[in-house]
Structure 1
């Protein structure tokens, strides 16, 4: 493939924190700067790759991954960003792209505002700039975490999520009100479960009545891409989702905050906090189930038996020992 036929990838990224910078940091402003630079320096066959509303710490970005697929396929000659932080704020991964991935695929990288151009030999300060970009992300993460902790201590919802069956009060987003569409579903699931209906029958009822799963419903309501995959099986409710609903104290009208924490500001993975690390606020909104129904559900959940592989392996030896003991007993009697 001739160099002139290859793509000039113009990459734009904007995070929630960057939006505070106003129009100067907007996607449209970045596009204007990148296209003008490409035109003035005669970079041909330009193509935009965009991630709007994504942190630079994570590299699991749709636009970035699409661009890297083109890079690895050998279809990109040059990658241009407004500055290094647009490419990423993770020191190690950004450095890997600039110093390994791009050179191995014959890609020239340019960060306009930082004066970085890998076609030159004067990029010694690029790793230092990447480190400062990560330091900024780390500092921002600490500040956000402190704000969220303070909100959690006041009983405010900090992640924008809310339990299935509720919606935010239009007059106060931290207050929940029953969702007319899904609150009856929660009540029906509890009623069926405590009456002894098997989980597979509850799932069958949900599918027959075309009740959208939580992810499918959120995709239908918001159109957000991260829920799009749920539309592959929009009426197939996993066991875990239903058991999680049956165990949520929010359906008693209580608020529990600080349930989880992030492993690291560089990771999307979360871990559950211990009970003593959580904050409990009773009677904050209208309950969907009463105490008796909820307790009955917990008792039935507690009786579930899910043998581990070790337990399954031990079943046969245990039976053998019991059989041997019986034989010995019969022999002794004889």
Structure 2
């Protein structure tokens, strides 16, 4: 009987896949010592991971964050993203407090990564999140870390408020001054810019014109950025330039959110007169404050109320939202229009969009919806967004995904230039040339 012999080829066993390991590091401030600590942590974990032969080094995700109670840490979010995309098998971190001082955030993250079969090793506490009693220990220790964060926050608040009550401010960063040994000292070069802003405002220039002059002249802000209207306004309103201090104008909502809130009577304020060398003499400063009030009483106003179109209209040029603006607010000539916020604050040099009268906006919207007149309830239920495309087109995007483009047209000057319009123009011209009448109307 003939035997059949078959040669069996045995393939070499494959090498086991290395565990992909990453590390997370964080320091609490931008001081040089802390940045050195962050650099040391990155170097330590890089060497630690690469010295394990069965580990694959993925990288060190490092944040220079103010606090571990907030979720806005860019590298922390980057780490979570890579974990969700299957790029990491294990995460190493120094301690629970470095990972997160918010118990809820920490446990949610641990549980999410556990479902992805990703272990977290907390070096200081010697805890692996995938171990049997890992979550129990983490819950207890994270609660301690969160309580420590709350205690530190309350102590800082108490210290700062005691300083305010004694007329001593915390450190501050503002154009024209530097903080030296607990007091504000004038920086002559920057003080010249402050003088120019106050002088230009009293000469008749507005915030927008001053902003453009500063940017065109290449004069940076204190932090090296470009100017905006609100930055000019803050300088004009800041009592520190007259040598005074108003302390506790803002406060933090709580130790978890760290949200800055304006103090509108929730906490006491403290006023310290002649606390440091002024840049602007008191007479000039007071004149500017009076002028600010005068202009605010008669200028174009941006209405802060919420309207059906609020947050719905997007500029096709710059991407910003449109706002409702009323010219000649409080007078019989009030005329509501919707205008791009960039165009309104920075002019046509920054955005070439076009404003649209509210009555035309409502009429076109009603036409798109098949209505005889504008209905807020129907509009809210059906329209998701309106994009202003070019000078005369609007793209309506419905909640169900449909899109409708409409062309709109303002009344021509010839059509609108009737006897009533001519009389209105004459009256407005008289008002402009008669300051006494403006003051009487105000």
Specify if TM > 0.5.
yes
Q: Deviations over 1:247-306 (max 9, x none)?
A: 111010112222211001112311122467111111121111122221221122222231
Q: Distance in 1 between matches of 2:270 and 2:46?
A: 47
Structure with more helix by fraction: 1
Note if 1:103 corresponds to 2:111: no
Partner of 2:68: 56
Note if 1:189 corresponds to 2:197: yes
Query: TM-score, length-normalised on structure 2?
Result: 0.59
* Structure 1 residues 3 and 194: alpha-carbon distance in aligned structure 2, compared to 1, 3 A threshold: farther
Question: Equivalent of 1:259, from 244, 249, 265?
Answer: 249
* Structure 1 residues 319 and 29: alpha-carbon distance in aligned structure 2, compared to 1, 3 A threshold: closer
Instruction: Write out aligned runs for 1:140-159 (5 A).
Output: 140-158=152-170
Q: Distance in 2 between matches of 1:107 and 1:84?
A: 16
* Structure 1 residues 41 and 114: alpha-carbon distance in aligned structure 2, compared to 1, 3 A threshold: farther
Secondary structure of 2:89 counterpart = strand
Contact kept, 8 Å, 2:246 with 2:270, in 1: the verdict is: yes
Secondary structure of 1:214 counterpart = coil
Note if 1:10 corresponds to 2:8: no
Partner of 1:244: 234
Instruction: Write out aligned runs for 1:195-274 (5 A).
Output: 195-216=203-224, 234-235=225-226, 237-274=227-264
Query: TM-score, length-normalised on structure 1?
Result: 0.76
Contact kept, 8 Å, 2:69 with 2:100, in 1: the verdict is: yes
Partner of 1:121: 132
Q: Distance in 2 between matches of 1:266 and 1:213?
A: 31
Unaligned runs of 5+ in 1: 217-233, 321-325, 327-334
Note if 1:162 corresponds to 2:173: yes
Q: Deviations over 1:50-86 (max 9, x none)?
A: 2246322122223323322322332111111122221
Partner of 2:365: none
Q: Distance in 2 between matches of 1:15 and 1:64?
A: 14
Partner of 1:77: 89
Q: Distance in 2 between matches of 1:299 and 1:3?
A: 77
Q: Distance in 2 between matches of 1:207 and 1:116?
A: 54
* Structure 1 residues 3 and 142: alpha-carbon distance in aligned structure 2, compared to 1, 3 A threshold: farther
CA drift of 1:121 comes to 2.1
Secondary structure of 2:255 counterpart = coil
Question: Equivalent of 1:308, from 285, 303, 306?
Answer: 303
* Structure 1 residues 279 and 118: alpha-carbon distance in aligned structure 2, compared to 1, 3 A threshold: same
* Structure 1 residues 162 and 79: alpha-carbon distance in aligned structure 2, compared to 1, 3 A threshold: same
The alignment covers a number of residue pairs equal to: 295
Note if 1:45 corresponds to 2:57: yes
Higher Rg: 2
Contact kept, 8 Å, 2:207 with 2:233, in 1: the verdict is: no
* Structure 1 residues 14 and 200: alpha-carbon distance in aligned structure 2, compared to 1, 3 A threshold: closer
Partner of 2:322: none
Note if 1:278 corresponds to 2:308: no
Contact kept, 8 Å, 1:13 with 1:54, in 2: the verdict is: no
Higher relative contact order, structure no. (Cα contacts within 8 Å, ≥ 6 residues apart): 1
Secondary structure of 1:125 counterpart = helix
Unaligned runs of 5+ in 2: 1-14, 306-324, 335-419, 421-442
Q: CA RMSD in A?
A: 3.5
* Structure 1 residues 136 and 38: alpha-carbon distance in aligned structure 2, compared to 1, 3 A threshold: farther
Note if 1:299 corresponds to 2:290: yes
Contact kept, 8 Å, 1:8 with 1:76, in 2: the verdict is: yes
Structure with more strand by fraction: 2
Partner of 1:289: 280
Contact kept, 8 Å, 1:15 with 1:52, in 2: the verdict is: yes
CA drift of 1:46 comes to 4.0
